Amino acid sequence: MGVWNIGFGNGYETNDVEEILEFCLKAYRELTLPPTDEGRMPLDTNALNDAALPMIIGIDGRSGSGKTRLSEFLEQSLSAEGIGVRVLNLDSIYPGWDGLEEGTKAWQKISRNLRNGKPASYQEWDWHADAPGPEHTIDPAQETVIICEGVGAITGTCDVRIVVRAPDELRYRRAINRDGDMYRPHWERWAAQEEALFAAYSATYAQADIIYRTA
């Protein structure tokens, strides 16, 4: 399922969060209100099933690019429109500093289950204990919009795919200001995993709906 025909996409570049919100709202309306004929019957017999599933927005990009801030803006703005939103931060899934690939694959499985209308479970990672934490289950029947935020988000099954970009120096300052000394020794280690992920899924990243530049 995709939203290619609702105004813009295919790598549309912007630095305006209001444009991104407009795109997401149009996608939501198209995906949850299937087109009908003159008798108000769905033109696509699969549309009703799709409309019953949560819309998934993937917000991807390198560490410190501004993904979390964008996800918070979209959560608040969509909620203000009366749309229920759940945010899933991939930071809560990656199993430690070497866990980008494993966490990404876990999200891919979660998103496939959600797209198929099945509950999806995942184990949260406790970064302070450096150990697995509690298990959580997402029931697609209880969700309207799910925003998945983190590196690798758009490698999963998403209806809207956003990649956030920012200059390296700015990203580093943001990440260190956010996480402090805990992150500093792992910056290069994590960046190498990002590079490997982007190379492995280069075709997926080339097909992002929106490129959001934060600086």
Q: Which domains does the chain have, with CATH numbers?
A: 52-157+169-206 (3.40.50.300)
Strands in 12-14's sheet, in edge-to-edge order, are: 12-14, 210-213, 160-165, 55-61, 145-149, 85-89
pLDDT at 183: 84
Cβ-contact 73, 21 below 8 angstroms: yes
Q: How far apart are CA 86 and CA 173, in angstroms?
A: 28
Report pTM. Answer: 0.88
Length of the chain: 215
For 111-141, write each residue's pLDDT tens digit.
999 999 999 999 999 998 999 999 999 999 9
Judged against a pLDDT cut of 90, whether residue 46 lies above it is answered with no
Judged against a pLDDT cut of 90, whether residue 196 lies above it is answered with yes
Judged against a pLDDT cut of 60, whether residue 200 lies above it is answered with yes
Judged against a pLDDT cut of 90, whether residue 50 lies above it is answered with no
pLDDT at 163: 97
DSSP calls for the chain: ---TTSS--SSEEES-HHHHHHHHHHHHHHHHS--B-TTS-BSSTTHHHHHTSPEEEEEEESTTSSHHHHHHHHHHHHHHTT--EEEEEGGGTS-STT-HHHHHHHHHHHHHHHHTT--EEEEEEETTTTEEEEEEEE-GGG-SEEEEESTTGGGS--SEEEEEE--HHHHHHHHHHHHGGGTGGGHHHHHHHHHHHHHHTHHHHHT-SEEEE--
For 143-181, write each residue's pLDDT tens digit.
999 999 999 999 999 999 999 999 999 999 998 888 777
Of 74, 68, 61, which Cα lies nearest the Cα of 18? 74
pLDDT-based confidence at residue 55 (cuts at 50, 70, 90): very high
